[in-house]
Amino acid sequence: MTITLIEMMVLIGLRVAFSELAQTVKNWRLVARATVANYLLVPGLAVVLLMLFDASPMASAGFLVLAVCPGAPYGPPFAGIARADVPGAVGLMVILAGSSAVVSPILLHFLLPSVAGSETPRIELVAMMRALLVTQLLPLVLGLAVRHRHPQLAARLLAPFELASKILNLSVAGLILGTQFQMLMHIQAKGFVGMVLLLAGSLVIGWFAGGPGAASRKTMALTTSLRNVGVGLVIVTGNFAGTPAVTAALVYGIVEVLGSLLVATWLRRARPALGFSRERLEDR
């Protein structure tokens, strides 16, 4: 998982130009709304749902870990599918992925006791932040630096890094599914209902946080619904290995990726229904 996360963060950096990142950072209102949606509202919704569904302590830990980890690398390609603002999605992904190395462990430190109580093993906050800085933020900065200083080298590295990312992600998913299969079979129907509600709530939160414009709303909705599975699995395998927390994080990771993909496809087809088309505006 650690190798996979490092490779994915370098790949994200190789894809992003500083100009794209700077353009998003300048839009401070957008960044502020993304921060509130991803670090306050989605984790808050997750806590409420976990309490309502009375989830077990370790399963709660797995779901909450993903809820506090935004900045998934699937944001930009899904924004492209939905015909949304892809450069904006790229900028938000980098900002959220980079900041989550510090913010996510802090949120987890304070929120985890509210849903898991005393049964959850103690998390070493400083150690987790240090691990994420090394495995997430530094590789991201390295990729950004290569793209900025050596764009031709970055272009040549994209294809092999993308292939390696696919292989590593499939390998990790297969290994975890294989070792956690028995736990996976014990997930009840209400657990899947809770996952769908969390995904739907995240999409709604992101939609309204997107501000004016259908493209901005679609971008924020998908960015907010897609949690960073790579970071989440690094946290749960490092702190809750061999427990239902790993299974919960993996299963919700699959649900939110597939669900967000379906929503992105629907948004692409339903584009005219989200607002007035150009022709209708001209008629008016």
Tens digits of residue pLDDT in 241-281: 878 888 888 889 888 988 998 999 999 886 444 443 433 33
Return the higher-pLDDT residue of 127 and 198: 198
Q: Which of 56-60, 134-138, 203-207, 208-212 has the lowest mean pLDDT?
A: 134-138
pLDDT in tens, 10-23: 888 888 777 777 88
Contact 205, 226 (CB under 8 A): no
Which class in CATH covers the domain with range 2-273? mainly alpha
Phi, psi of 83 (to 5 degrees): 60, 45
Domain ranges of the chain: 2-273
**Tokens 């130009």, residue located:** 17
Mention every residue, 6+ apart, whose C-beta is less than 8 A from residue 266.
none
Residue 115: C-alpha distances to residues 4, 58, 172, 235, 252 (Å): 29, 9, 27, 17, 17
Residues above pLDDT 70, as percent of the chain: 89
The Cα–Cα gap between 268 and 231 comes to: 28
pTM of the entire predicted model: 0.80
